[in-house]
Homo-oligomer: A and B are copies of this chain.
Amino acid sequence: MKMENLPVNSLSLDFLTEFLISLEKLENDRGCRGVILTSGAPKIFSAGLDIMEMYGKSAEHYAEFWKAVQEMWLRLYQSNMVTIAAINGSSPAGGCLMAMCCDYRIMAENPKYSIGLNETQLGIVAPFWFKDTMVNTIGNRATERSLELGLLYSPPEAHKIGLVDQLVPEEKIQSMAAAVMSQWLAIPDHARQITKSMMRKPTVDRLLTHRESDIQNFVSFITKDSIQKSLQMYMEMLKQRRG
């Protein structure tokens, strides 16, 4: 499954909707037991949530967008398929979340790439279920430090703290992902699926219980003047960099 929302695979509402439809199709296809998530964009796995969806829009739009982000997480984190992230580029914020939802993470050992939940750097806050997913992956203390500082890790650092499972030279990432997939598919689906659900259900249930209030939190946070201003400044900085 190659993500292509050029230039940087931003998770826009349209892209998330398409992503969910594609995932659903594969999920219902009995011939498909596993999926490799990778990027068709150069140098970037996914840039995370599309800032354009969080700036200058209506409360209704923000709510709809956030619901789609939740849905992406719920579907990907609980997928019945074996999910492997072949992280062939940088993967900040929501991109890091997608990678953490997978069963296994392989990253290209390119020193220009980085991965992490860097929300605080932009003055915003990763919601509790982003945090829970990271705690499940790298433990409480590493998560605390990562989130408070909004850290982006180089591939060797990410490997050291367990944010990715394996590093490979960039040209070998797809073949390695295929090899790892074979290993995972050797396990009987039924036993693996029950085990995965046992590991992840408590985390999923927390969001399901607080889903509505989580949407309300997001909307009231993102509509604050100070936050809108922060995002505007960030976007202008991005424009200047590109320009």
Contacts and interface: CB of A to CB of B under 8 A. Distances in A.
Interface of A: 103-104, 119-126, 128, 131, 135-141, 143-145, 147-150, 162, 165, 183-184, 187-188, 190-192, 194-196, 198-200, 226, 230
A207 to B, nearest CB: 14
B125 A198 contact: yes
Contacts of A150: 187, 191
Given A191-B120, A196-B148, A136 B140 contact: yes
A120 B199 contact: no
Nearest to A119: B191
A131 B198 contact: yes
A220 to B, nearest CB: 13
Contacts of A194: 125
**Nearest 9 interchain pairs by C-beta:** A120-B191, A123-B188, A125-B194, A144-B199, A147-B195, A136-B140, A123-B191, A120-B187, A148-B195
A96 to B, nearest CB: 15
A128 B198 CA distance: 7
A112 to B, nearest CB: 22
Given A120-B192, A126-B195, A199-B140, A187 B148 contact: yes
B149 A199 contact: no
Contacts of A145: 103-104, 165
Contact of A188 (B190, B192, B230): B230
Contacts of A131: 195, 198-199
Contacts of A188: 120, 123, 230
Contacts of A135: 140
A64 to B, nearest CB: 24
Given A120-B192, A120-B195, A138 B136 contact: no
Contact of A149 (B119, B140, B141, B187): B187
Most buried by B among A122, A187, A199: A199
B184 A123 contact: no
22 contacts: A103-B145, A122-B191, A125-B195, A131-B198, A131-B199, A136-B141, A137-B141, A138-B141, A139-B139, A139-B141, A140-B199, A141-B162, A143-B199, A144-B199, A145-B165, A147-B199, A148-B187, A148-B196, A149-B184, A149-B192, A150-B191, A188-B230
